[in-house]
Amino acid sequence: MVWLDTNSLKRYNNSPSILLFMDKFFEIIAGYGQFPFGIVVGIWLARGAYNQALKFMGQTHASLLEEKKQLRETVEAQQKRIDLLHDEAYSEKKRIGER
């Protein structure tokens, strides 16, 4: 591999600094292993995954608000039931009292 050759620095001794920089750059990249640009792929995958997770979190929040609404309506319906039962019990009591 060209960029692993340390003698290449000597070759570019009198060349512009951009080539020296490129050489150093490829040397550093090669130090990361056999698949160095896996970092970029990993970042891309993580970005997609976090977007998906955030979407799920948004849907969860919307669902939670819906649940809250439904539970409030449940309390309302239960209050109606309580009122009905109370009316029945009260009328029964009144009837017994009249006797």
Partner 1 sequence: MDILSFTIFAAICTAIAFLLIQLIVVFPAWRRFRIQKATTSLSKCLKRLNSDSLLNGKIHNGHYLHDRFYRLLFSFFLNDSPKIKSTANMGYDRDAEREMSQFRREINDLDPETTATIDEALSAITQIVILHNPVKFSIYLLRSRQSRVVRENGSFKKRMVRGGEYLTVSDKITFDTHCHA
Binding site for partner 1 (CB under 8 A): 34-35, 38, 41-42, 45-46, 49-50, 52-54, 56-57, 59-60, 63-64, 66-67, 70-71, 73-74, 77-78, 80-81, 84
Nearest distance, CB of residue 95 and partner 1, angstroms: 20
Q: How far apart are CA 51 and CA 94, in angstroms?
A: 64
At its nearest, how many Å lie between partner 1 and the CB of residue 31?
15
Looking at the Cβ atoms of 15 and 59, the one nearer to partner 1 is 59
User: Would you say 11 or 55 has its CB closer to partner 1?
Assistant: 55
CA atoms of 95 and 90, how far apart (whole Å): 9
For residues 32 and 39, the answer to whether their CB atoms sit within 8 Å is: yes
Q: 55-86 as b/e, with b when 16 or more CB fall inside 10 Å? A: eeeeeeeeeeeeeeeeeeeeeeeeeeeeeeee
- In angstroms, give the least distance from the CB of 67 to partner 1: 4
